[in-house]
Structure 1
Amino acid sequence: MPQGSGRMSPSEIKAQLKNSDTTMLQMLQFVFNSVLKRKSLLFLNIGLLIVIAGLNFIIPQFTKNIIDHALAQHRINALWLDVGGLLITTIILGLLSFASTYMMQILSQQSIKELRLKTYTKILKQDYAFFQNSKTGDLMVRLTSDINNLQSLISSDSLGLVGNTFTFIVVLVFLYIQNWRLALLVSITFPILFITIRFFRGRIREAYSKVRSMNSQISNQLQATLTEIELIKSYTTEQAETEVFADIVDKTNSYTLEATKWQAIFQPLLLLINTSGTAIVLAFGGYLVIKGQMTIGDLVAYLSYVTLLQNPINSFSRLINIFQTAQVSYDRIHDVMEVNAAIIEPTNPVAFPEPLTTGITFDDVSFQYELKTADALEHLTCQIPAGKTTALVGRSGAGKSTLIRLLMRLYDATDGTIAFDNQAITSIATHDLRRHISLVSQDVIIVDGSIGDNIAYGTPAATTDMLWHAAKQADIAEFITGLPDGMDTAVGERGIKLSGGQKQRLSIARALLKDAPIVILDEATAALDNESEKTIQHALDNLMVAKTAIVIAHRLSTVHNADQILVMDHGNIVERGTHTTLLQQPDGVYRKLYDAQFE
């Protein structure tokens, strides 16, 4: 049965990572699903916003009473009473606004934390192919800036739409009751405002989409530059890299100016429309005051209510920018969330066979990378016996590393089956599978922390004694003891303070501490000189004691003692045997490789 069913190709992953055309409703559902988990806090805040809207409605009445009653009738007591009521109402309004803003921030932070962790977890659970076809800097922007943009949706401004909508309806009804002709004239500005917002909406979104895309390119370029600084210095390409970065920055500035242009046009138009509404009230209302059909207090209050009526519209227009920016960010996050895992976990996983008694079987296994015209592995069949050391040798591109990637299920085979003691690899949960495999590669990964952190990586429950025992077996304990801070010594970013041999010993100690039954050495000493290789070989021997070991090596001197050697060529096993038996084949591939190395 083919194991590649359901496997997603890198081109499909790339396609899914392109900006999608999601709706505003989808974005709000994604964001507010986490908000709705805290309903009590949400509804309390909505209630406060409605009360705040009501207090805003009351305030103009104090102004009207002061002008029409206290001042017009020279009533000093009424003046003090209205002024006092105005101040008390304003103080209460301020306290409620503070409480609303603070609670909204709590709700926002908790919800965004959940969204960020959800996105981070989704990315970490993606397959090996996903990371091969994704830009690190771009993923960083999605987890940071894009998530931050979504946070603006869970704010006092956005939820203020509830209170503003309430205010808008109540005030509009009130104004029509007060003077329907004047209210009708003011209402003429609303469709104009709506058309203006609709016109600019798409243009603002498109402009900010370009800005977000360029920000990702900046992050990608920075990440690439900082991680390849040694190469840049060695080949004196500082100027060339600067020119590339300058071109990206220029485009970013251009797109930012485009977005700013549309926004700069948008805001004055809104101001003009709102001012037109105010002008209508002053003109027609002033005429009514002159005719004695409206008091000055009524006019001042009416102006205040028109302002209250315009505030929700102004808030909505400000939110257009927030929503458009958030929509672009959500599209990019949605792309990641919608990528389906290429490696499909079994519905009812079986436990990894422990202890491994028979070994690992490759039965008619084929695999092809997307960009290759030929199979990396082609109908490969072999047995890796349990408790023995199997060496994989062959020219570059023969398929050795591909075999290991399939064994760790970083990819699924296109055809054929891989089994551990007759237990199909696809029936074992990937976490359980990889927990039983230790990998030591020539490309040593050192985390930015202490020596102890690096040895204990993947085995967080390890005690100090266990760390030192692993260090001794890896022949690095003496080096650690000589350091001022011992196990607590910082290794620097990517282990910059360590030599190549020291990094390799740390990775061996890490694998020793994991104590997995299967050990894979992928060119573990290829980057070391002969002297360093000899000193590390003892640590590797300790690692492979009583293990099912698979050794990939170009240096054939390192595989003399392997229980079996599998010689690979063009994605298949062309020879197998021990070092001695393979050398007895004068025209064999192994003999030719051996002679070429020791001429």
Structure 2
Amino acid sequence: MDNSNRRMSPSEIKKQLAKSNSTIGEMIRFVFGSVLKRRGLVILNVCLLIIMAGLNFMMPQFTKNIIDHALPQNNHYELYSNVIWLLTTTIILGIITFFSTYMMQILSQRAITDLRIKTYNYILKQDYAFFQDTKTGDLMVRLTSDISNLQMLISTNTFSIIGNIFTFVVVLTFLFIQNWHLALLVTITFPILFVTIRFFRSRIRESYSNVRYAQSKINNQLQATLTEIELIKSYTSEDLETDKFEAIANESNDYSLTATKWQAIFQPLIVLINTIGTAIVLLFGSLFVMNGTMTIGDLVAYIAYVAMLQDPIRSFSMLMNVFQTAQVSYDRIKDILSYRPTILEMQEPVAFPKPLKEGIILQQVTFQYATPTNPALKHVSLTIPNGKTTALVGRSGSGKSTLIKLLTRMYDRSDGSLTFDGIDIKSFSLTDLRHNIAVVSQDVTIVDGSIADNIMYGTENVSHAAIWQAAKQADIANFIKELPDQLDTEVGERGVKLSGGQKQRLSIARALLKNAPIVILDEATAALDNESEKAIQHALDNLMVAKTAIVIAHRLSTIHKADQIIVMNAGEVAEVGTHQSLLADNGIYRHLYDAQFE
């Protein structure tokens, strides 16, 4: 049995979406890969940050000159000129800061938009099985909150680390030149800062990881309840659902408080360590002033420079918190991007045969889901002739819908052969294969938009006349004409403004417009009453004209005219024939037929 394209189990998918141990360097390379596509803006911004660091370095000198020269000498010119230079430098610094911040926002928005689009597209291209085994709410969190957290990495604060490093090196060198004894005393606090940051780093990261996990659970619960509101109302289970949500919300609250606790301890500790450095300068610097080895202006400037020295360290510690939060989000996004589809395309696919001549042939096809022990399909062999209508019937769980999923390559067979005109289904590109198959199912999907948007969905370059023609063939044109906005009428989320029959007609019109040579009707009228079913049957007849039609039928009265009826039972082909011949055989089909009309 060929398991190379076996559907992954939920546990395997969870392992792929489990926490990873990425490094900060790996995350930075990933996030800034998009930023570096705009190197001109990056280089310009780095230059501005270095200029800003230089201007900040100059400002304490103006204060020193006023204290040591202008005031002792009663020199008004020295006083005014230094004040003017201080104000001028501040204005220039403000202008440069504005341009730097604005350019960083441009870089940030463009980079994060690229990343969000890339992740969104990657998710949409995953296998059908992926969406069955992952939570919608969790995917939404990864596409929104997690990517927004990564945006914090591409900010002025992050890029300012470049200027801060430049400031740190220049200022520390300057302080050693000015008074190496005092500089050495100040640097004692640096190892303490480093150890503190290292200690809190892993704990803060773990806390934020739990917070993200709790947020995903909240989104999953919200998504589930809001999409099942009719069921909740019908069974008056509002209080039960509220209790579930309360438990998840409290769990999220606990995780958030834990993260806040570590943050609340971390920040004051950093401030305390920095204050110790300032206290050292005040204590020993004052002694140096008393001994005459330093001036008051030197001491004031020295304190300002120590603050400038501490700013990069303080910024770095705050940045570490941002990095911890972002790294949790990066791990979650990386998990998504590391998932590999199992439904693969050939590098050089074959063109889908138009028109079909022999039809669709299955030989000894077996398919097994990951979790059940018994295969869903067992050695199925059958032929679906071109231009004919083939009906699939059988009890629930007999393998009818699974067979349809194989024909559209939502799943790949585990074993056997599945060909279109003798060409293996894996030889076609997924786009080419699915463009040639139109599916109308019991669970109609209506997009939030206009009636025209729903009819033309998935079909490009459609004329107004073609939309009306499809609507007419689907027996919904008269209904549309009675609407105030006709084709431009909004249908509401999931088509809440339409009845079940109207939704079904829209899906038939969509399939008619697609004009695919193969049509699959997956219990298309099972959810309708008898009157609606009869009204829609004419539209379905129009859809199947000159097409290879495959019909999964719940109501056997709808398939009397099928050219071929295939009876499925426990994943196997039990009977094949026409309506009359199968009734005469007095087998499973006859039993199912009689049961419906007792």
TM, length-normalised to structure 1 = 0.99
Cα distance in 2 for residues equivalent to 1:272 and 1:494? 57
Contact between 1:4 and 1:413, CA under 8 Å: does it hold in 2?
A: no
Residue 193 of structure 1 pairs with residue 164 of structure 2: no
* Structure 1 position 2, deviation (Å): 3.9
Which residue does the alignment assign to 1:453? 453
* Structure 1 position 187, deviation (Å): 0.3
Contact between 1:218 and 1:248, CA under 8 Å: does it hold in 2?
A: yes
Which residue does the alignment assign to 1:115? 115
Cα distance in 1 for residues equivalent to 2:28 and 2:357? 54
Cα distance in 2 for residues equivalent to 1:183 and 1:241? 62
Contact between 1:3 and 1:426, CA under 8 Å: does it hold in 2?
A: no
| Matched pairs, number | 598
Cα distance in 1 for residues equivalent to 2:199 and 2:5? 47
Aligned-partner SS, 1:439: strand
Aligned-partner SS, 2:585: coil
- Report 1:503-522 matches (<5 A): 503-522=503-522
Contact between 1:10 and 1:129, CA under 8 Å: does it hold in 2?
A: no
Which residue does the alignment assign to 2:592? 593
Contact between 1:67 and 1:297, CA under 8 Å: does it hold in 2?
A: yes
Cα distance in 1 for residues equivalent to 2:14 and 2:68? 69
Contact between 1:476 and 1:502, CA under 8 Å: does it hold in 2?
A: yes
* Structure 1 position 371, deviation (Å): 2.0
* Structure 1 position 3, deviation (Å): 7.5
Cα distance in 2 for residues equivalent to 1:3 and 1:195? 50
- Report 1:130-141 matches (<5 A): 130-141=130-141
Contact between 2:8 and 2:370, CA under 8 Å: does it hold in 1?
A: no
- One-letter amino acid of the counterpart of residue 284, structure 2: F
Aligned-partner SS, 2:60: helix
Cα distance in 1 for residues equivalent to 2:359 and 2:476? 31
* Structure 1 position 12, deviation (Å): 1.8
Aligned-partner SS, 1:129: helix
Cα distance in 1 for residues equivalent to 2:127 and 2:533? 33
Aligned-partner SS, 1:584: helix
Contact between 1:4 and 1:412, CA under 8 Å: does it hold in 2?
A: no
Cα distance in 2 for residues equivalent to 1:110 and 1:426? 38
Task: Name the Cα RMSD after superposition.
Answer: 1.0
Aligned-partner SS, 1:467: helix
Contact between 1:2 and 1:417, CA under 8 Å: does it hold in 2?
A: no
Contact between 2:7 and 2:369, CA under 8 Å: does it hold in 1?
A: no
For residues 210-255 of structure 1, give each alpha carbon's deviation from its aligned partner in whole angstroms, at most 9, with x where no partner exists: 1110000110000001000000000000000001101111111111
* Structure 1 position 9, deviation (Å): 3.8
Contact between 1:3 and 1:412, CA under 8 Å: does it hold in 2?
A: no
Aligned-partner SS, 2:119: helix
* Structure 1 position 572, deviation (Å): 1.3
- One-letter amino acid of the counterpart of residue 461, structure 1: N
* Structure 1 position 506, deviation (Å): 0.4
Cα distance in 1 for residues equivalent to 2:330 and 2:169? 31
* Structure 1 position 369, deviation (Å): 1.1
Structure 2: gaps of 5 or more residues: none
Runs of 4+ in 1 over 6 A off after TM superposition: none
- Does 335-344 or 9-18 show the bigger shift? 9-18
- Report 1:327-366 matches (<5 A): 327-366=327-366
Aligned-partner SS, 1:18: coil
- Report 1:544-555 matches (<5 A): 544-555=544-555
Which residue does the alignment assign to 2:67? 67
Which residue does the alignment assign to 1:37? 37
Which residue does the alignment assign to 1:557? 557
* Structure 1 position 5, deviation (Å): 4.0
* Structure 1 position 596, deviation (Å): 1.1
Cα distance in 2 for residues equivalent to 1:95 and 1:21? 41
Change (3 A) 1:136 1:5: closer
Which residue does the alignment assign to 1:372? 372
Contact between 1:3 and 1:416, CA under 8 Å: does it hold in 2?
A: no
Cα distance in 2 for residues equivalent to 1:227 and 1:431? 30
* Structure 1 position 78, deviation (Å): 1.1
Which residue does the alignment assign to 1:147? 147
Cα distance in 1 for residues equivalent to 2:44 and 2:64? 32
Cα distance in 2 for residues equivalent to 1:312 and 1:2? 58
TM, length-normalised to structure 2 = 0.99
Cα distance in 1 for residues equivalent to 2:489 and 2:113? 32
* Structure 1 position 6, deviation (Å): 6.5
- One-letter amino acid of the counterpart of residue 592, structure 2: L
- One-letter amino acid of the counterpart of residue 571, structure 1: G
Identity %: 67
Cα distance in 1 for residues equivalent to 2:3 and 2:485? 49
Which residue does the alignment assign to 1:173? 173
- Report 1:142-541 matches (<5 A): 142-541=142-541
* Structure 1 position 87, deviation (Å): 0.7
- One-letter amino acid of the counterpart of residue 593, structure 1: L
Cα distance in 2 for residues equivalent to 1:292 and 1:390? 104
For residues 252-292 of structure 1, give each alpha carbon's deviation from its aligned partner in whole angstroms, at most 9, with x where no partner exists: 11111111111001111111111111111111000111111
